[in-house]
Amino acid sequence: MASAAVKGLAGTRQRQQVAAPGWAPRHRRCRCRLAAQAGLLDLLRGAGSTEIATDAEGEELKAWLIERGLPPPKLAAAATPGSGRGLVAAQPIGKGESLLSIPQQLVLTPAAALEQSCLRPLLEEQPLPAWSVLALWLAEQRAAGSAGGWWPYVRLLPERTGCVLEWSEEEVEWLCGSQLHSDALEIRAAAEASWAEMQAVLAAAKAQGRAPAHGAFGRAQLQWAFAVLLSRLVRLAGLGDQEALLPWADLLNHDCAAASFLDWSATEAAVVLRAERRYRAGEQLLISYGQKTSGELLLSYGFCPDLGSNPHDGCRLLLELAPGDAARNWKAAALRQHGLAASQLFPLRMAAAPFELVHYTAFSAAVVGSRQEAEQLARRLFEEGDIPPALQTAALEAVVAACKAALAAYPRSFDGDRAELDRLQDQASAAAASGGAGDGSADAGQQRRRHALQAVVYERQVLSRTVFVLQQELKDVQRLARRQG
């Protein structure tokens, strides 16, 4: 059971992808051109000599890794306003240049963690999921302090990440009505299940005197480790989808408009990153953590991009085959052949027509008399992308009804949430203008509230916009039907 839950958690972690062309933000090309021009100006001004305020501990980690085989990167660690440490260009960088190449021995895969773990004999006897092995390794290294083999890396890991594992129950309730609420509960339940699942190993470790410093594997220590993993683990598609910690490279921050990401290169036998454009010396290098909505970023990484700045923002709508449909089993089998399930989440975006989900509801609404008929219709809808005219109205109506039901599921009024969000945004702007004086923890709590509100306000705007667009389409379909009839 725990491993199923852990799978759910894995699904929420960094899945780094290239931005789909349809979703490239309009301003991007323009920004690149400006950046290229800025790069040229910098060269003329001798930007190579720009002084960079580097971060001492981050640079010490880089030097430590270089001693262990890291080819010297063209990047430097630096403090970045509002996002902790980050990596900046240490010199002007050209498009396509190699920025980082992390050799295998510095990639912290679950296998590497197991190899180094004090619990290794026990974990070989009673294997735990990769996620738990890494968490135990992190907790062990942290407890060992400077005596541990990876202290230069572990001491840089944040005390708190802001991810949903650190939220109070009341804070999680702010997401009620949204699919994010189910995600949040699932992530927290997975961490709980992982904690429960490792108790037998921890008890054996205690009995055999294998656990290191007192309390190294306590609940709070493992909670910290789970939060670190949720906000830093990178899935390496080129390494069979393994998830790993990437020391120093995990200082890279996220940009919703970035296309580059870290992945394993078999030819270079290393995790690599190339420059997707030119960079000035001192400019921060940002990568993509995946095409995530702002709410998803909030749950895993504890930050939320500014409203309107995330081209992947939106919400997910849950659609299901009608439970009472006599053809439900045939339909479910036919859906599976197209990678869809009898209960399926669909992403909605502000500016995208949700064709796939209209096809899904057309399939759900259709009356089919056999398995073959279900398969035939599924092929027409999901392979050829064609909706039989007779199903169009019912499909559009079903999506509109599903969006309205999703809107009604939010417990608080849209206007009330919007007003509170505006107020918190004004307060945040005023605090930023006055230098951000005040109690840090109160600020963090207020920021979380603002981010949660931002997510649930935007989701409802997307749902309302989808209702509007589909109602227009419904009118067109009905007008056409009247003309033809």
Ligand X SMILES: C[S@@+](CC[C@H](N)C(=O)[O-])C[C@H]1O[C@@H](n2cnc3c(N)ncnc32)[C@H](O)[C@@H]1O
Stretch of 62-70, 78-86, 125-133, 387-395 lying at the interface with ligand X (CB under 6 A): 78-86
Does the footprint of ligand X cover residue 150 (CB under 6 A)? Answer: no
Number of CB atoms found within 10 A of residue 102's CB: 25
- Select 109 or 466, whichever has its Cβ closest to ligand X: 109
Binding residue (CB under 6 A) for ligand X from 13, 85, 359, 448: 85
Task: Report whether 217 contacts 118 (CB < 8 A).
Answer: no
Residue facing ligand X at closest CB distance? 84
List the beta bridge partners of residue 264.
271
List the beta bridge partners of residue 234.
14, 244
Report 422-481 residues binding ligand X (CB under 6 A). none
Sign of CA dihedral 67, 235, 264, 285: negative
- Select 86 or 110, whichever has its Cβ closest to ligand X: 86
Compute the distance between CA of residue 128 and CA of residue 446 in angstroms, rounded to an integer: 37
Does the footprint of ligand X cover residue 260 (CB under 6 A)? Answer: no
Does the footprint of ligand X cover residue 177 (CB under 6 A)? Answer: no
Compute the distance between CA of residue 130 and CA of residue 113 in angstroms, rounded to an integer: 9
Nearest approach, Cβ of residue 150 and ligand X (Å): 15
Nearest approach, Cβ of residue 139 and ligand X (Å): 18
Report 282-321 residues binding ligand X (CB under 6 A). 301-303
Compute the distance between CA of residue 451 and CA of residue 307 in angstroms, rounded to an integer: 9
Q: Report the first-to-last Cα separation within the chain, whole angstroms.
A: 55
Encode 297-329 in three state secondary structure.
HHHHHCCCCCCCCCCCCEEEEEEECCCCCCCHH
Nearest approach, Cβ of residue 137 and ligand X (Å): 17
Report 222-251 residues binding ligand X (CB under 6 A). 231-232, 250-251
Does the footprint of ligand X cover residue 86 (CB under 6 A)? Answer: yes
Binding residue (CB under 6 A) for ligand X from 178, 194, 221, 253: 253
CB-side exposure of 381: number of CA atoms within 13 Å? 32
Report 155-174 residues binding ligand X (CB under 6 A). 158, 161-162
Residues near ligand X (CB under 6 A), total: 17
Nearest approach, Cβ of residue 250 and ligand X (Å): 5
Task: Report whether 154 contacts 232 (CB < 8 A).
Answer: no
Residues of the shown chain interacting with ligand X in the complex, contacts defined by CB under 6 A: 82-86, 158, 161-162, 231-232, 250-251, 253-254, 301-303
